[in-house]
Amino acid sequence: MQHDIDALMRDYQGDVPGASVLVLRDGQPIVRRSYGLADLEKRVGATPQTNYRLASVSKQFTAAAVLLLIEDGRLGLDDRIARYLPGLPSATNGITIRHLLTHTSGLIDYEDVMNPADTRQVHDADVLALLQSHDRTYFAPGTAYRYSNSGYALLALIVERASGQRYARFLHDRIFQPLGMHDSVAYEAGVSEVPHRAYGYSFENGAWTRTDQSTTSAVLGDGGIYSSIDDLARWDAALYDERLLSSNSLRQAFAPATSTDDPQVEYGFGWRITGETLWHSGETIGFRNVIVRWPKRRMTVVVLTNRDDPEPYGIAKKIGALAMREAATN
């Protein structure tokens, strides 16, 4: 199987932006391998400890933070978000935390209303300010699905209001440290550092160019977490028992809450659901990632990459098929 996976990952090998691949079966890593470079300029090779910016794979952690605060009694799924973010315009009055988690809020996309001439990085609080200045939504909350980075940025702010902690600190104290994810971080420039950091690249004019940060890279709730395949193995383990979240919270996170714009995909709380799989991809400037879980088979595939293309969901499914074939013959 390793030879077949190496063949699938051929384009990530050598002096190019790399990748890390993890296959877990029954909680054990049967493949734990990295390819290529985490830093082209310094020629630093990728390893299983390399931390990639997860992009939207971060959303499952934002959802988990909300669920922890619901268990604490500090939030309710059907609380209106205006209770925590009172400056929002009247068009958003009916939106609840559940709507944000499931992309059914109708919130406008903050990237569509940013000033293209402003090159400063946007933070979660800036997303709130952008939304406060537009008294409209795409649809009435709960009536449709539209994938919303805005919603998950607001969830990070709600976590802060309900917990009294910075969002990054809450993740550190309540998720990363308890699970032993010691190198994972919601990265804040000037506040935190990313150990074993991978830098993002794009293929432009026949060469790899560093494209590590964009104006939206500092928004944490929708995509600002850095993690490694080693730390994500610890995260995956926590999704099978109650070491972090109650069985009821996990059941809600993994249950189909809404259909999506893809007839094969439903959405829970920070997770896409297709057949027996729970999964989420992450795409941002310089990074493409995916986690695919087959909970009934106790199998998980993670592919993290520090390049703009291709999207690795297809590779992860092929790797999963190889792992299942091997499991069936053993």
Mean pLDDT of 37-52: 98
Instruction: Report the domain count for the chain.
Output: 1
pLDDT for the residue 286? 97
Of the pLDDT bands very low, low, confident and very high (cuts 50, 70, 90), residue 238 is: very high
Whether the pLDDT of residue 330 is over 80: the answer is no
Please state, rounded to an integer, the average pLDDT across all residues of the chain. 97
Of the pLDDT bands very low, low, confident and very high (cuts 50, 70, 90), residue 97 is: very high
Mean pLDDT of 254-263: 98
What is the rounded distance in angstroms from the CA atom of residue 27 to the CA atom of residue 244? 16
258-259, strands of its sheet edge to edge = 28-35, 19-25, 299-305, 287-294, 277-284, 272-274, 266-267, 258-259
Of the pLDDT bands very low, low, confident and very high (cuts 50, 70, 90), residue 117 is: confident
Distances 50 to 193, 198, 223 between C-alpha atoms, Å? 13, 6, 17
Q: Which residues of 73-91 are buried (b: 16+ CB within 10 A; e: fewer)?
A: ebbeeebbbbebbeebeeb
Domain carrying residue 36:
2-329
Mean pLDDT of 50-69: 98
The enclosing domain of 209 has a CATH number of: 3.40.710.10
Of the pLDDT bands very low, low, confident and very high (cuts 50, 70, 90), residue 244 is: very high
- Cα atoms found within 13 Å of the Cα of residue 152, Cβ hemisphere only: 27
What is the rounded distance in angstroms from the CA atom of residue 141 to the CA atom of residue 98? 10
Whether the pLDDT of residue 116 is over 90: the answer is no
The rounded percent of the chain whose pLDDT value lies above 90 is 95
